[in-house]
């Protein structure tokens, strides 16, 4: 079988449209009872917010994509993350207006063109300065969009893996840059959220322990943490310990499988994840993140070689149902 044969043929440039009718008649609602964890009574997660990344729907955000926001609202999403970069151009006012009309919160993250030398952890001082300037421009975009957060592996540059013993000052200089970035974001009303990534993507921060060390070095209240169940699968052995480690700074989580598939279809120990989120009374942001595998070679170009997101509406519907049921269990 050819590597491409499992991709369904699409004649529409909007592959998510096919399941809209089904989704409209299958609205998902959170469990309205009271949850228990051991002897501690927990409220239901009625304010837990579910979102999706734009890459589930489109390889590049522009002004013609605004109807995706309407679709996101129709499938019961509360927020929407947009991948930005030097090659991503759109009218921020139009996207903001549409999101506000629909009651969708926005988050942005670097996903488009991001020059390699713009790196807060770079050995060269001038490159660290360029990195800070580049990220500040991104925060400016977030403010124009009315976005609540700028999120990602902002401490380094995903794809840059230096196979060496870390220099003694690497965390210190990176923390200094993050402090200044978080301070800048605070002035713009934008949270700065960083996440560990697997050692295949970065040498800087792979574990919850490392991310909290960096948060302490940066020492700014506007710097928060997100965990990604996909990236953690190669870096840790205990998801409970991972979540507990970051609980005081935990803003959100990316929820997908070890192969970026729909939650519940792979190796992630979800019962442990659910129990721990209940234990810490987490009530933040849960994001579905993958790459649409029905749009030409997009998924391949992003390094995802599995057909796990051919229909984003089904991905979100199945994933949200699984997460809500799991989080509602006693």
The full 3-state SS of 215-239, as one line of letters, equals HHHHCCCCEEEEEEHHHHCCCCCCH
What pLDDT is recorded for position 46?
A: 57
Tens of pLDDT, residue by residue over 107-138, are 999 999 999 999 999 999 999 999 999 999 99
Mean local confidence (pLDDT), 72-91: 97
In sequence order, which residues have a C-beta less than 8 Å from that of residue 181 and are 6 or more positions away?
Answer: 120, 132, 135, 136, 139, 154, 192, 223
Mean local confidence (pLDDT), 192-208: 98
What pLDDT is recorded for position 47?
A: 81
Q: Is residue 1 over pLDDT 60?
A: no
Tell me how crowded residue 38 is: count the other CB atoms within 10 A of its CB. Answer: 9
30-44, 96-110, 113-127, 291-305: least confidently modelled range: 30-44
Please, what is the average pLDDT of the chain?
89
Tens of pLDDT, residue by residue over 232-280, are 999 999 999 999 999 999 999 999 999 999 999 999 999 999 999 999 9
Candidates 3.90.1150.10, 3.20.20.150, 3.30.210.10, 3.40.50.300; CATH matching 47-328: 3.20.20.150
Q: Is residue 44 over pLDDT 50?
A: no
Mean local confidence (pLDDT), 46-53: 90
36-40, 77-81, 231-235: least confidently modelled range: 36-40
Q: Which of 24, 102, 26, 20 is nearest to 66 (CA)?
A: 102
For 19, which DSSP code?
G
Considering only residues 104 and 32, tell me which one the structure prediction assigns the higher pLDDT. 104
Q: Is residue 91 over pLDDT 80?
A: yes
Mean local confidence (pLDDT), 290-316: 95
Q: What residues does each domain of the chain span?
A: 47-328
What pLDDT is recorded for position 14?
A: 53
Tens of pLDDT, residue by residue over 130-164, are 999 999 999 999 999 999 999 999 999 999 999 99
């Amino acid at each position: 079988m050819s590597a491409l044969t499992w991709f369904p043929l699409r004649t529409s440039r909007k592959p998510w449209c096919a399941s809209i009718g089904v989704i409209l008649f299958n609205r998902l609602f959170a469990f309205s009872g009271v949850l228990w964890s051991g002897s501690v009574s927990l409220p239901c997660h009625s304010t837990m917010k579910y979102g999706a990344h734009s890459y589930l729907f489109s390889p590049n955000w522009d002004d013609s994509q605004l109807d995706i926001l309407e679709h996101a609202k129709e499938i019961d999403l509360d927020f929407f993350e947009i991948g930005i970069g030097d090659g991503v151009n759109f009218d921020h006012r139009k996207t903001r207006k549409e999101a506000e009309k629909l009651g969708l919160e926005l988050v942005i993250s670097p996903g488009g063109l991001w020059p390699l030398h713009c790196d807060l952890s770079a050995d060269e001082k001038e490159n660290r300065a360029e990195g800070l300037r580049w990220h500040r421009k991104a925060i400016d975009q977030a403010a124009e969009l009315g976005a609540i957060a700028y999120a990602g592996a902002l401490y380094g540059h995903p794809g840059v893996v230096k196979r060496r013993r870390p220099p003694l000052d690497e965390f210190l200089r990176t923390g200094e840059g993050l402090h200044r970035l978080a301070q800048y974001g605070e002035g713009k009303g934008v949270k700065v959220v960083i996440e560990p990534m697997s050692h295949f993507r970065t040498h800087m921060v792979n574990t919850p322990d490392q991310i909290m060390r960096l948060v302490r070095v940066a020492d700014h209240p506007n710097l928060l943490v997100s965990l990604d169940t996909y990236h953690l699968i190669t870096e840790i052995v205990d998801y409970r310990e991972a979540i507990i480690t970051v609980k005081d700074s935990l803003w959100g989580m990316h929820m997908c499988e070890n192969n970026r598939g729909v939650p519940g279809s792979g190796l992630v120990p979800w019962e442990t994840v659910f129990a721990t989120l209940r234990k810490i009374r987490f009530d933040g942001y849960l994001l579905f993140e993958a790459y649409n595998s029905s749009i030409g070679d997009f998924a391949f170009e992003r390094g995802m070689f599995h057909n796990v997101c051919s229909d984003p509406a089904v991905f979100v519907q199945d994933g949200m149902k699984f997460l809500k049921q799991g989080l509602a269990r006693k």
